[in-house]
Amino acid sequence: MKVISTIAELRTALKAERLQGKTIGLVPTMGYLHIGHMTLVRHSRAACDVTAVSIFVNPTQFGPNEDLSSYPRDMAGDLAKLKAEGVDYVFTPEVAEIYRAGANTIVENPMLSRILIGKIRPGHFRGVSTVVTKLFNIVQPDHAFLVKKIISN
């Protein structure tokens, strides 16, 4: 398992895999991995030749009154779990690597902003949509494995 923190290094590594005809799966996460994440990793490994997992606590999906600093983190534990599952690459960028100075692109989904948690957490889905779009652009996966959250009233 290779742990990579820069976009350039990850793109180079994945380009080499593609040149060998391999398919790439992406499991985007904010870390603090649980059984749901590991299930996605297993699905990726079963469907793809190469599995890349991102661990990035995305500050843009936290509102001004939400405590980004208290979001649980366990990088050592996460890496151990991913290694045990046979993950090929783990992308662990810093905030400045994902949100580079002068880059102002955002992805907005007005419908999501009006429903579910979007009603009580303004900007949350904009942050999620933006970072997932960035990760898709960086990794350019053949398949992506994401959690489907079920919300009931």
Q: Where are the domains of the chain?
A: 2-144
**Stretches in the chain below the pLDDT threshold 50:** 152-153
Helix 7-19 / helix 124-139 crossing angle, nearest 10 deg: 50
| Nearest Cα residue to 113 out of 99, 98, 129 | 129
Q: What's at 94, amino acid-wise?
A: E
Q: Which residue reads 């994945």 in tokens?
A: 14
- Phi and psi torsions of 84, nearest 5°: -65, -30
What residues are annotated to the active site? 37
Q: What is the pLDDT of residue 153?
A: 45
> Model confidence over 6-34: pLDDT tens digits?
999 999 999 999 999 999 999 999 999 99
d(CA 59, CA 95): 8
Question: Is the domain defined by 2-144 classed in CATH 3.40.50.620?
Answer: yes
- E strands, 45-103, are 50-55, 89-91
- Phi and psi torsions of 53, nearest 5°: -120, 135
Q: What is the pLDDT of residue 110?
A: 85
Q: What is the pLDDT of residue 6?
A: 98
Whole-structure pTM value: 0.93
Contacts made by residues 9-15, CB under 8 angstroms, sequence distance 24+: 10/52, 10/89, 10/91, 10/138, 10/139, 11/138, 13/89, 14/50, 14/52, 14/89, 14/139, 14/140
